[in-house]
Amino acid sequence: MAARRTDGILKWQMLGLGLLGLGAAAFPTASPGHVNPWPDTSTRAADRRLRVGSVDLHACGEAKAFCGRIERVLDPTGAVPGTLSVLFEFYPHAGRGKSLGTLVATEGGPGYPATESRDEYLTLFEPLMKDHDVVIMDNRGTGRSGAVDCPALQTGDRWTVESVAACGESLGPRVSLYSTAYAADDLAAVLEALRVRKIDLYGDSYGTYFEQVFALRHPDALRSIVLDGAYPMNGSDYAWYPTYAPAMRAKFNTACERSAPCAALPGSSIDHVMPALERLRAAPFTAHAHDVDGKELTFRADATQLAIVMYGSAPTLTTAREVDAAARAFALHDDVPLLRLMAETASAVDSRDPTADPTKWSAGLAAAVMCHDPAQIFDMRLTPAERIEDRDRAVAERKRAFPDTYAPFTIDEYRAMPLDYSFLDQCVGWPVAPPGQPASPVGVDAVYPDIPALIISGDLDNMTTMADGAAVAAAFKHGVQVRIANSFHVNALPHARSACAAGIVRAFMRTATVGDTSCASQVPPLRLVPRFARRAEELDPAKGEPGNQANRAQLRMIAAAVLTEGDLLARVPSNASGEGYGLRGGTYHIVRDGNAIHLTLDRVRWVDDLAVSGTIDRPAAREGVVRATLRLSANDGTTGRVTVRWLEGSEAALARISGTVAHTKVLAQTLAP
């Protein structure tokens, strides 16, 4: 599933990076249950060598990794000649005792190399690495395992049916050889070479699809399996992604219900959005707005652009916390908040890194997998010309029978989203797979192995939905789904809203049983923006505390300043440039160090009539005290200087404000933004 974020008889030859000509005697030897030959971490990385099973490895990177390669035949049927070099990283357990097992992580996308996410996986596995080895492999066609490069997809402004088809044509006879089934077989070959008998396998997003394929093809290699952000390989109406719209609606409605200011409004969150949607339908227009990195974008503000915001779930936090309020403002012709969200989403749904490097994310591999493995709404055995007719017939029938499939958006509005998010049309021009390579060789009707299976789902995830996770859990005889409250897509990795899922996963990987999951219901709700305002006087004032001398107008200035602070902090996780613009003007600068995040504000305007300058410091961790020193300057000449503090990570956190406005003492509190 595009973004954040496939025969065991294949012959292979072992290769070690940079080690040609060295005999086995040059390497210490390890095997399953081996004692770590280098418990002393002071050994120079460049001097370290290791032989595990039949593979010669050499130290690489800065995280105590050993790198190796195996050479795989490209096509197990022999119809297409050639080989593919598959890279993997091996992390020996840190302790002096024997290894108790091997942990393997596999990446989402498709198209992302797992080794680019090593830091996140190693953070998850770190408490287990004293007595567990770790393997991370770049799937064929990604990263350093022969990344597929289709320039038109990799660098174009957006995917088109034609550019996807051209990518498939450029692959020629290799077009069907990047399937998930063959990638799964590559991992099995790596494990065989390392003489690893069983693994505990973790995967996220598309990685959960890979895991299911691996489980079906190599069940004896698994001790346990963790699927984080899981979706099934088949099901009723699978190709139409029927759980998407209900989950999207539930995300916004549930977040609103759990936020007091939003819940106090009549109707559901989708009800709140509908007037903005109707305005966009009636009068779409060309718009300009800055994305989260400060780049100005020009785009068409229409119903589809709103659909991208609500379905794309990117940036995750800002879309969830702001869509309701931004839509309400847009319906009142305050366009700025919603247009900013549209610009931010337009950038965030692009999976490429700024250099469009296919080794960081391969658009070609993503297309090759998505057009080969999952079911489509048309028959992939037809020629592209015939498929178009099949697609048009299927769409017309869908409109007749299920017009609300993507409500509140129409089927046409949904189809107009980027092809790698709407999915329905992207593969209509993809070449027909060769006769020896069926379109979907993943064995979706096979019986899943009886192994311990943990499925993690966020209850606000509309990309891999709770319904999808439940279907995957049901496929395993002893599958258990754990639903993490108030959480989004992929929850055991460091970027998640809570550390809960990571703890559950570690305990499961150690014991192969699901233990205490009580934390799953204790993740704090989102703090939604109560409303967007043009002037501070439109806001509810902060609440004065004993000793406060500020009047209601001044307390409204304080409320606007705190909301300005929250507006910027919500954008920090998505900002890569370190620079950004305030909602209605001004700039801010971000500096990150190991323990904290520091923001410097220069006349940032969240409302038109108040400029906020100063500094904000927040811990890099999920929890801790947020501190700000802010200078306020209103359009009427009123100035002030205040400090703001609150405890992040706690439910219903209160921001406490002290200082002066117009030489008047301020002591107040308001809900943390």
The domain segmentation of the chain, as residue ranges, is 536-671
Phi then psi for residue 183, to 5 deg, are -65, -40
Mean pLDDT of 608-632: 96
pLDDT of 156 above 90: no
Helices (H), 8-99: none
Question: Quick one: pLDDT at residue 6?
Answer: 27
Instruction: Determine contact, residues 337/325, Cβ cutoff 8 Å.
Output: yes
Question: Quick one: pLDDT at residue 651?
Answer: 74
Residues 6+ apart with CB under 8 A from 89: 60, 61, 65, 66, 67, 115, 118, 134, 135, 136, 137
pLDDT of 267 above 80: yes
d(CA 373, CA 656): 53
d(CA 418, CA 319): 17
pLDDT of 583 above 70: yes
Mean pLDDT of 462-484: 96
Instruction: Determine contact, residues 649/672, Cβ cutoff 8 Å.
Output: no
Question: Quick one: pLDDT at residue 353?
Answer: 73
**DSSP run (H or E) holding 638:** none
d(CA 316, CA 328): 19
Question: Quick one: pLDDT at residue 12?
Answer: 21
d(CA 576, CA 343): 15
Question: Quick one: pLDDT at residue 433?
Answer: 84
d(CA 23, CA 657): 68
Instruction: Determine contact, residues 497/570, Cβ cutoff 8 Å.
Output: no
d(CA 248, CA 244): 6
Phi then psi for residue 76, to 5 deg, are -65, -20
Residue entry with tokens 């399996």: 225
What single-letter DSSP state applies at residue 253? H
pLDDT of 30 above 70: no
Question: Quick one: pLDDT at residue 33?
Answer: 55
d(CA 618, CA 252): 27
d(CA 381, CA 225): 33
- When pLDDT is cut at 50, 70 and 90, the band that residue 16 belongs to is very low
C-alpha distances in Å from residue 592, one per residue of 43, 62, 247, 596, 621: 30, 20, 34, 6, 12
Q: What is the mean pLDDT of the chain?
A: 91
Residue entry with tokens 């989403």: 345
d(CA 270, CA 560): 26
Question: Quick one: pLDDT at residue 393?
Answer: 97
Q: What is the pLDDT of residues 386-436, one digit of tens each?
A: 999 999 999 999 999 999 999 999 999 999 999 988 999 999 999 998 876
What single-letter DSSP state applies at residue 528? -
Q: Which two tokens stand for residue 487?
A: 């959480």
Q: What is the CA radius of gyration of the chain?
A: 26
Q: Maximum CA pair distance of the chain? A: 83
Residue entry with tokens 């002066």: 660
Best-predicted range by mean pLDDT (4-8, 152-156, 340-344, 350-354): 340-344
Lowest-pLDDT range, 53-67, 572-586, 629-643?
53-67
Instruction: Determine contact, residues 146/85, Cβ cutoff 8 Å.
Output: yes
**CB atoms inside a 10 Å sphere around CB 416:** 18
Q: What is the pLDDT of residues 212-241, one digit of tens each?
A: 999 999 999 999 999 999 999 887 889 999
Question: Quick one: pLDDT at residue 169?
Answer: 96
Question: Quick one: pLDDT at residue 442?
Answer: 61
Geometric angle at alpha carbon 106, from 101 and 110, rounded to 5°: 170
pLDDT of 21 above 60: no
Question: Quick one: pLDDT at residue 652?
Answer: 80
Task: Select the more confidently predicted residue: 35 or 552.
Answer: 552
d(CA 208, CA 186): 16
Say whether the peptide bond before residue 408 is cis (omega within 30 degrees of 0): yes
Q: For residue 462, give the 3-state DSSP assignment.
A: coil
**Beta bridge pairs of residue 644:** 628, 657
Percentage above 90 pLDDT, the chain: 83
Geometric angle at alpha carbon 560, from 626 and 629, rounded to 5°: 40
d(CA 130, CA 333): 58
d(CA 437, CA 224): 30
Helices (H), 227-268: 244-257, 260-263
* pTM, to two decimals: 0.91
- 50 conformational bin, left if phi > 0, alpha if psi -120 to 50, beta if neither: beta
Question: Quick one: pLDDT at residue 631?
Answer: 98
Q: Give the strands of the sheet with 596-604, arranged side by side.
A: 543-544, 664-671, 654-661, 639-648, 624-634, 610-619, 596-604, 587-592, 579-581
d(CA 119, CA 41): 18
pLDDT of 650 above 80: no
Residues 6+ apart with CB under 8 A from 620: 592, 593, 594, 595, 596, 597
Instruction: Determine contact, residues 463/229, Cβ cutoff 8 Å.
Output: yes
d(CA 132, CA 404): 49
d(CA 593, CA 596): 6
C-alpha distances in Å from residue 90, one per residue of 55, 56, 248, 272: 11, 11, 39, 51
**DSSP run (H or E) holding 633:** strand 624-634
Question: Quick one: pLDDT at residue 558?
Answer: 98
pLDDT of 383 above 70: yes
pLDDT of 626 above 60: yes
pLDDT of 381 above 50: yes
Instruction: Please list, residue by residue across 184-199, b when 16 or more beta carbons sit within 10 angstroms of its beta carbon and e when fewer do.
Output: bbbbbbbbbbbebeeb
